[in-house]
Structure 1
């Protein structure tokens, strides 16, 4: 794993319970939505717990089926003041990409309901 990729994963781990004070994003420990947005919070399906991480060196992909919303994860890594310094996110259509130096972390997860804006620009 490259140093920049390690910084992104460390940032992700450290922000697992992050919640923006202005209510724009929240990770909720990967099992809840602290912002109580409408949607599938009560989904009790088994595949809501599936998570997969793949990659090598500076290219990684993280995919999951349940909470947290993909916009919230990208924002927790990039939004001021809680984000990883110099990390940037972009919406790539079917996923988000977070970049830091030579590292790219592709995030595939469910989208937040449109009524609530996240800290990442679409």
Structure 2
């Protein structure tokens, strides 16, 4: 876990060497979490959790962000009272080269397909 997690306001994140492929693959397996990952990948900044408009309850949104954080897919930090989010693309690319890019490309292709 990161040192920030030891302080009162930090959030627990796995260190790079603790990130497991199974967790990384599981995290975007839910449509809402995949949507969050896609939106974060398209951002140049670190948006707050409240910036995401998802068709689920606030507690469910919190759950999805926790799964993404605990799997090592996103990093969350507090700025004031806001919880800011960013993809851990550097860590994921170092551990699993190209995986994040392939997942995002596949998600874009799926989103472009006509609904059945």
- State the TM-score, normalizing by the size of structure 2: 0.28
Structure (1 or 2) with the larger CA radius of gyration: 2
Q: Which has the higher strand share?
A: 1
Q: Which has the higher helix share?
A: 2
